[in-house]
A = this chain, B = another copy of it.
Amino acid sequence: MADYTNETKMLLAVDCIIFGFDGENLKILLIKRGFEPEKGKWSLMGGFIQENESLDEAANKILLQLTGLDGVYLEQLQAFGDPQRDPKDRIVSVAYFALIDIHKYETQLNDRYHAEWFLVNEMPKLVFDHGNMVEAAKQKIRYKAALHPLLFELLPRKFTIPQLQSLYEGVYNTRIDNRNFIRKLTSTGLLIKLEEKDKSNSKKGAFYFKLDKKKYKAKFQAFLNFIPNPENLIS
């Protein structure tokens, strides 16, 4: 260890778990792998880290390539480094998860990667350890969103309370009492009610809300406890 020069160098990758919400269900963006090994199998979007880029930069680049989106919520999840995780070579991969507004997603840009949205609960088997990465990401989101207003990153600029609630219900796979849910939400002061209604799902229509960005930033780190009895949910 007295010198660097005869240490083994390795391939370093980033892989992105990209979540989206279509207004009803939580989805994940996968691609058909275009090269060996495991060509043709479903996979996370990833790439090798270049000499001159940081991990965050690499992850953002990949996200931009696949979705055409810039400035999305992106967080490092974990490094995965089992020596056998890729059968062809030793590759350590730093996994990132992204939360995007699915409506902003540009289909043209990604078509060359054969990208497709899947319901998180109906995902195909993934290559290598990508299934583990997705599991870890789901757990992390569940954990974090129970305490912080993370899931707003998945919503479009204006959204309705029923949408928001079904998002939480989807992420935690549970039913939430809507009166308590609304009370909790409004007490955060994060929501601004708009005039307009979304009438696509009911005759009465549901009011649109938007996020108070300032308060969102200010309160993001606070422990807001969005989920009742979280210890019964987080496994």
A residues lining the B interface (CB < 8 Å): 1-4, 7-12, 34-35, 47-55, 76, 78-83, 88-92, 94, 146, 221-223, 230-231, 234-235
Contacts and interface: CB of A to CB of B under 8 A. Distances in A.
Nearest to A229: B223
Nearest to A222: B231
Copies assembled: 2
A11 B49 CA distance: 12
What is the predominant secondary structure among interface residues of chain A facing chain B? loop
Contacts of A35: 1-3
B48 A83 contact: no
A6 to B, nearest CB: 10
Contacts of A4: 11, 48, 88-89, 91
A190 B11 CA distance: 44
Contacts of A79: 55, 76, 79, 94
Contact of A83 (B3, B52, B91, B221): B52
Contacts of A47: 1
Query: Which among A2, A11, A53, A81 has the highest number of chain B CB atoms within 10 Å?
Result: A81
A1 B88 CA distance: 15
Contacts of A81: 12, 49, 54-55, 94
Nearest to A90: B51
Contacts of A223: 146, 230-231, 234
Contacts of A234: 221, 223
A35 B1 CA distance: 8
5 contacts: A55-B81, A76-B79, A81-B94, A92-B92, A221-B231
